[in-house]
């Protein structure tokens, strides 16, 4: 695999919407720089470029985003230092979700918790490598409960019927990534989305209404994906989060403009109350950011 040769450069995000104070982006990644945080040989993919914390902070400043959840990426494997470094630069305004083996020690969990991590993610997507054994993941949630963490899951919608019963047995809240990676072209009445809605009836579950650009089979602004996100917010508005998925790794087609994705919020959460719940109240209550200051300060 070739090494990335460049960095993601900030271009002004084209956004018309004004986000409420305290807005949170609950799903981003940081990659490298490779010289400081090397990509391990067993990585699940190689990013096309470094995406360092400075570029992330600049994108958030352009959009008016104050809080963030940085999700460890498979390109860095179980070495979560790149996320820890970014969190440390924000004085508690950002937190992290780790990638970890199911055999992780209690000491490592406590160490990561002290560094600002609040959960662990497991992927059930073929392009991101073999998933950890499902029963081992559910067993791990008992230890996650002891430190107040949650389980985050990323799965192919074709597997939702298989995975849902196990997820219901989690000892901690379960956050579903990217609207369950639903295929918008199959319509809102498709079986996988109905199963997803049924899963969300359980108060244990939360969901990120992110990934419109991945669900969509249409050009920006991805109109076919909006009804799915809008329905989730309308029915489960107190348990939904939003994220950009910057810098959009492994995406088919052009990298989306994060400003375009932000502007979708005016349709996804059309009322001021819905928007505030989605961007401010829900993430603050769930992720428990250590700082609630309204300026990024040292993060810029």
Domain holding 106, by residue range, is 24-288
Note if 263 is an active site residue: no
Q: Which of 183, 245, 258, 263 is catalytic?
A: 245
Average pLDDT over residues 246-262: 92
DSSP per-residue letters across 78-113: T-THHHHHHHHTTTTSEEEEE---TT--HHHHHHHH
At residue 1, does pLDDT exceed 90?
no
The CATH number linked to 77 is 3.20.20.140
Query: In this structure, is the dihedral angle defined by the CA atoms of residues 133, 137, 138 and 139, taken in order, positive or negative?
Result: positive
Quote the number of domains for the chain. Answer: 1
pLDDT, tens digit, 9 for 90 and up, residues 113-133: 999 999 999 999 977 678 899
Among 4-13, 53-62, 197-206, where is mean pLDDT lowest?
4-13
Give a yes or no: residue 252 inside a domain. Answer: yes
Give a yes or no: residue 204 inside a domain. Answer: yes
pLDDT at 292: 55
At residue 149, does pLDDT exceed 80?
yes
Give a yes or no: residue 5 inside a domain. Answer: no
Q: What is the pTM of this model?
A: 0.94
CA-wise closest residue to 8 among 74, 71, 54: 54
Q: Rounded to the nearest 10 degrees, what angle do helices 191-200 and 160-167 cross at?
A: 10
Give a yes or no: residue 230 inside a domain. Answer: yes
Q: What does the mean pLDDT of the chain come to?
A: 92
Give a yes or no: residue 1 inside a domain. Answer: no
At residue 299, does pLDDT exceed 60?
no
Token look-up 């300026």 returns 295
Among 7-21, 23-37, 186-200, 280-294, where is mean pLDDT lowest?
7-21
């Amino acid at each position: 695999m070739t090494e990335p040769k460049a960095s993601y450069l900030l271009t002004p995000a084209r956004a018309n919407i004004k986000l409420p104070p305290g807005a949170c982006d609950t799903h981003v990644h940081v990659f490298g720089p490779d010289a400081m945080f090397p990509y391990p040989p067993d990585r699940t993919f190689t990013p096309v470029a470094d995406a360092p914390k400075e570029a992330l902070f600049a994108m958030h400043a352009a959009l008016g985003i104050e809080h963030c959840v940085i999700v460890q990426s498979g390109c860095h494997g179980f070495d979560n230092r790149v996320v820890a470094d970014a969190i440390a630069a924000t004085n508690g305004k950002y937190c992290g979700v780790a990638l970890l083996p199911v055999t992780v020690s209690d000491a490592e969990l406590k160490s990561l918790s002290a560094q600002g991590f609040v959960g662990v993610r497991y992927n059930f997507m073929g392009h991101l490598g073999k998933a950890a054994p499902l029963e081992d993941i559910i067993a791990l949630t008992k230890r996650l409960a002891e430190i107040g963490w949650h389980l985050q899951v990323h799965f192919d919608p074709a597997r939702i019927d298989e995975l849902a019963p196990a997820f219901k047995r989690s000892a901690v809240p379960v956050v579903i990534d990217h609207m369950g990676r639903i295929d918008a072209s199959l319509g809102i009445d498709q079986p996988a989305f109905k199963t997803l809605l049924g899963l969300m009836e359980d108060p244990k579950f939360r969901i990120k209404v992110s990934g419109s650009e991945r669900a969509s089979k249409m050009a920006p602004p991805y109109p076919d994906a909006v009804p799915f996100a809008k329905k989730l917010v309308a029915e489960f508005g107190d348990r939904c989060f939003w994220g950009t998925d910057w810098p959009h790794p492994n995406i088919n087609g052009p990298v989306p403009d994060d400003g375009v994705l932000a502007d979708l919020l005016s349709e996804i959460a059309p009322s001021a109350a819905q928007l505030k719940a989605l961007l401010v109240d829900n993430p603050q209550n769930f992720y428990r950011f250590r700082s609630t200051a309204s300026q990024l300060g040292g993060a810029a």
